[in-house]
Structure 1
Amino acid sequence: MRRSTVTTTRPAPASARPAGYVPGRWRKLALIGGTLFADNNESSVISTLAPVIFAALALPLSALGVLVAVGKCVTVVFGPFWAFVARRTNRKTTFVLTTAAAGLVTIATGFATGFVTLLLGYAVTAVFVAAALPLVSEITIDLFDAPLRGRASGYTWGAVSLLGSVAGPLLGRLSTIENGWRWGFFLWGAVMIVLALLVFAFFRDPGVGASEPTLVALTPEQRAADEKLTWAKIRQMLRIPTFVIMLIQRLVSGHLLIGSFGTVFLVSTYGFTTAVAAVVTLPFGIGYTVGTLGGGIVTDALHKAFPRRGRLTVLQFAQIAFGIVAIIATQVDWGGIGVFAIFWAMLGFLQGLNPGVNRPIVAAVVPPELRGAAFALMLSVFEAIAYAIFNLLAGYIGQAHGLVVVMLWLPGIVMLANGLFVSVLYWTYPKDADRIEQLLVTRARQAQAGGSVGA
């Protein structure tokens, strides 16, 4: 009797699943999210251990800005390139090969003997690291339907940040060991290779648009036709007002500078050692995790209650509040590292609100087959360009006028302007989101009727 009961009830949960449900989606998200942690921490080796790396190689402060800027410029080219390659070939294969290659080059970077070799290793690593962000963003949208996308993105970046926050102080401890910074590169390169092997062994791509309930009825031929990227579709994407605004919004996002220059700022401005200054990465990461996890849940709830403005309100709040806290945190010598740690936790929280908001906003206004290209354009091109410019400015302005001035303007005043700018979304987002909803409904009806499903 027990065996009979189990047999008859086991299929019930699957049959009760809504259309667009992807089995094992959280496990798959954990696998691909792990690669973001490894890829992000390659740059964290530079940002956390910059004081000792630059002392060992006799480099000026401006070198940090050049390194980060070159890495981001490389991303501008290769982010869209890998998104194109993945769509033309296989997303999983592209994911595995680029992550493994990034790990190997990261290990090689640990043998740098001067600025040229350090820059070369960092730039080549960036070529392969560029694949992770657009692919993870696109696959996350394919794993989860609209009500859970904010939460899924929040969980991913929260976990990445939490692991990174623990890694930051550990990396800082390497500054007390002779040539310890080299071991930072060796360790993170090895982690990338291990994660690439895990994705190869256990990850199965859900397919483009797998989580869209209105596309479930499409045949493989119809889905393949929708997945084809053409210049006409790219131009169509750039005619979406909300998406264009989101691209511009990324150009004026100075908050990422806290991650690349935060440790150097505390060391050079307020006299902390590298090991002590690196302590703030832990509360920053914890704050970021709370922001992504809690923010994702709250954002999804607000979206459910106010589908046309809930996410926009969170996005605007995050930008304006970050600017205010950044100014307060960096313009005063608060004494002990403990007070700075509290402010860094607040900055982490506010920055953590972003992934659970901006990805779902873009997904809501861009057709499924164009989301990979959209994320590549937003995150790998526009964000990378902004990050490169801000880091170059930070390096040279900081060397000439001090990092206090840099922190006042870039993470502070620029972010306040960013928050005011996104007010435009309240006019464009409802129309663009409605247009995509109607497009998906039309495709589903055409698929059921056996007709064309083109955009």
Structure 2
Amino acid sequence: MAATAGVLAPSSHQSWVSRHFPLVVFTLTFALMLSDYMSRQVLAAIFPYLKSDWGLTDTELGVLTSIVSLMVGVLAVPLSILGDRWGRARAIVAMAVLWSIATIGSALAAGYGQMFAARAVMGIGEAAYTSVGLAVVLSVFAPGRRAALSGTFMAGGSLGAVLGVALGGILSAQFGWRWTFAAMGVLGLVLAAMYAVLITDRDLSAHRVTDVGVAPRLRPGQRRAGLGTLFSKPSLVVAYFASGMQLFVAASIVVWVPSYLNRVHELAPRSAAGLASLLILVMSIGMITCGFIADRVSRNRPLRPWTAAAVFSVLSMAFLGAGFAMDPDGTQLLVLAVGFFFVGATNGPMGAVVAHLAHESIRATAFGFLTTSNNVLGLALGPIVTGMIADRMGLQSALQIIPLLALVPIVALVGGRLLFPADLRRMSADEGTGHRETAGPGGQSVPGGQR
């Protein structure tokens, strides 16, 4: 557990709280990440019911998913800036309350238009949560854990999707899809109340871990780094793009796999949702595991996160492409499971790279740009494009095409790896140290430019 930055009171109770505060922060922030994606992805389990009740096309179903991600993508940066300035803990509570109320609103929707509006408001509430939440988590832990923490925190999204799809299948079969939305909304409100009581911005400031040698120093009297520093590093921009395009593939697969199992494997909606949740669980395990792997192989090797992310993307393309080309049987599901393991594994390495290149004072904003890319290029664009292809060619053909698009992030990751050493040298020059050692994404010191 990271050492605290503040001065602790002598009482044993306060000492215990101080030692365990980072764990409390991670646990509740992670729990809200689960709630975020449970509310968002439960819709995938309800697709068959909405298609039957309202006569919707696959494109219209895809739009209901994509509008949330589109709103997140559009608003992530401005709301992340607001979170950096207003207070990250307060921003998290406000966001959780808004998306939870909007989720309950989805339960009350009388038709497609009202459902669309409720999902749009949900996206506003969720817009900056990933960026602000990740910045909060990383602020109270040592830099050497960044890829693992980023991967684990981002896995909360896929774990939330697992729970949302699984519980959505069970609850909608037992109580109807409206009560399913209501249950997700109530859970979010309970977690928001707990966060407001246990975590404050004052506590976060007292427990912040000093981030030495990772980003340019602030000038005397300067409270925050300039936003221009987030655009002055080409490899940072490439990291945003590569992460978003890899999530294009991941989001397409996650959203449509329950319908794929329902139509191609001819499983009942509840069974399809249950099996899909297991595959998404495999993806979550892969994100966490690959984050730890990236931290391990990146010690004293600042370029290794790029290499690891590219390898993970290649493996996801190979296994998902092969799996969806196979006949629908048990062997196919095993091959798909391997592809699911790697399809979200770039999140940890890319989160570490972004944290390395952005000053802590604007790190939520930096993650806001990452969230924008992930949502606009990935979570918003992927499901709706897949739905459009499915309307024309069939869902099975669409999912055979989507994995091949991983070629785009693979090329971008290779390009980012080539650009990254120059950005490390530029950061050293900004510090006025020239050849001074610069901390790598894992937090270890390595000679500037070392590969």
TM value normalised by structure 2: 0.83
1:293 to 285, 288, 296: 288
Say whether residues 1:234 and 2:232 are aligned partners.
no
Q: Which stretch has the larger CA shift, 322-331 or 30-39?
A: 322-331
- Show CA shifts across 1:89-110 (max 9, x none): 1211111011012111101111
1:212 to 200, 210, 230: 210
> SS of the residue aligned with 2:328?
coil
Q: Aligned equivalents of 2:168 and 2:196: distance in 1?
A: 28
**1:287·1:349 contact (CA, 8 Å) conserved in 2?**
yes
- Show CA shifts across 1:212-263 (max 9, x none): 34289x99x97872326xxxx3333212111111122134222221111111
Q: In the superposition, relative to structure 1, how do residues 68 and 282 fare at CA in structure 2: closer, same or farther (>3 Å)?
A: closer
Measure how far apart 1:423 and its partner are. 0.7
Aligned position for 2:7: none
Aligned position for 2:187: 191
Pairwise mapping of residues 423-438 of structure 1 onto structure 2 (< 5 A)?
423-436=414-427
> SS of the residue aligned with 1:118?
helix
**1:250·1:383 contact (CA, 8 Å) conserved in 2?**
no
Say whether residues 1:107 and 2:104 are aligned partners.
yes
**1:295·1:352 contact (CA, 8 Å) conserved in 2?**
no
Q: Aligned equivalents of 1:347 and 1:159: distance in 2?
A: 19
Aligned position for 1:271: 266
Say whether residues 1:60 and 2:60 are aligned partners.
no
Q: Aligned equivalents of 2:19 and 2:137: distance in 1?
A: 11
2:370 to 368, 378, 382: 378
Aligned position for 1:4: none
> SS of the residue aligned with 2:110?
coil
**2:223·2:361 contact (CA, 8 Å) conserved in 1?**
yes
Aligned position for 2:360: 368
1:419 to 410, 413, 416: 410
- Matched positions, count: 416
Rg larger for: 1
Which residue identity does 2:295 align to in structure 1?
A: D
Q: Which stretch has the larger CA shift, 354-363 or 286-295?
A: 286-295
Q: Aligned equivalents of 2:432 and 2:134: distance in 1?
A: 23
Q: Which stretch has the larger CA shift, 373-382 or 104-113?
A: 373-382
> SS of the residue aligned with 2:352?
helix
Say whether residues 1:120 and 2:117 are aligned partners.
yes
Q: Aligned equivalents of 1:289 and 1:95: distance in 2?
A: 23
2:251 to 256, 263, 266: 256
**1:215·1:440 contact (CA, 8 Å) conserved in 2?**
no
**2:245·2:377 contact (CA, 8 Å) conserved in 1?**
no
**1:208·1:369 contact (CA, 8 Å) conserved in 2?**
no
Q: Aligned equivalents of 1:157 and 1:96: distance in 2?
A: 19
Q: Aligned equivalents of 1:381 and 1:370: distance in 2?
A: 17
Q: Aligned equivalents of 2:221 and 2:278: distance in 1?
A: 45
RMSD value, Cα? 3.1
**1:34·1:160 contact (CA, 8 Å) conserved in 2?**
no
2:240 to 244, 247, 266: 247
Q: Give me the identity figure in percent.
A: 18
> SS of the residue aligned with 1:304?
coil
- Show CA shifts across 1:320-355 (max 9, x none): 1111111122222223xx545434432332134222
Aligned position for 2:89: 92
**1:140·1:149 contact (CA, 8 Å) conserved in 2?**
no
Q: In the superposition, relative to structure 1, how do residues 73 and 27 fare at CA in structure 2: closer, same or farther (>3 Å)?
A: same
- Show CA shifts across 1:390-441 (max 9, x none): 222212221111122321222x111133213311122222332354466579
Q: Aligned equivalents of 2:426 and 2:82: distance in 1?
A: 29
1:321 to 306, 315, 320: 315
Which residue identity does 1:153 align to in structure 2?
A: S
Aligned position for 1:6: none
Q: In the superposition, relative to structure 1, how do residues 111 and 85 fare at CA in structure 2: closer, same or farther (>3 Å)?
A: same
Q: Which stretch has the larger CA shift, 391-400 or 38-47?
A: 391-400
Q: In the superposition, relative to structure 1, how do residues 379 and 326 fare at CA in structure 2: closer, same or farther (>3 Å)?
A: same
Q: Aligned equivalents of 2:154 and 2:229: distance in 1?
A: 29
Q: Aligned equivalents of 1:314 and 1:176: distance in 2?
A: 41
Q: Which stretch has the larger CA shift, 27-36 or 385-394?
A: 385-394
2:198 to 176, 189, 202: 202
After TM superposition, the runs of 4+ consecutive aligned structure 1 residues lying more than 4 A away are 221-224, 338-341, 437-442
Say whether residues 1:74 and 2:67 are aligned partners.
no
> SS of the residue aligned with 1:226?
coil
Q: In the superposition, relative to structure 1, how do residues 158 and 250 fare at CA in structure 2: closer, same or farther (>3 Å)?
A: closer
**1:249·1:418 contact (CA, 8 Å) conserved in 2?**
yes
Aligned position for 2:381: 389
**1:103·1:190 contact (CA, 8 Å) conserved in 2?**
yes
Gaps of 5+ in 1: 1-9, 16-20, 443-455
**1:324·1:416 contact (CA, 8 Å) conserved in 2?**
no
Q: Which stretch has the larger CA shift, 32-41 or 276-285?
A: 276-285
**1:148·1:300 contact (CA, 8 Å) conserved in 2?**
yes
Q: In the superposition, relative to structure 1, how do residues 373 and 70 fare at CA in structure 2: closer, same or farther (>3 Å)?
A: same
> SS of the residue aligned with 2:223?
helix
Pairwise mapping of residues 7-22 of structure 1 onto structure 2 (< 5 A)?
none
Gaps of 5+ in 2: 1-9, 434-451
Say whether residues 1:310 and 2:304 are aligned partners.
yes
- Show CA shifts across 1:137-181 (max 9, x none): 222221223211112223334455446435533321234336x11
Q: In the superposition, relative to structure 1, how do residues 441 and 44 fare at CA in structure 2: closer, same or farther (>3 Å)?
A: farther
> SS of the residue aligned with 1:359?
helix
Say whether residues 1:350 and 2:342 are aligned partners.
yes
Q: Aligned equivalents of 1:261 and 1:441: distance in 2?
A: 51
Measure how far apart 1:190 and its partner are. 0.7
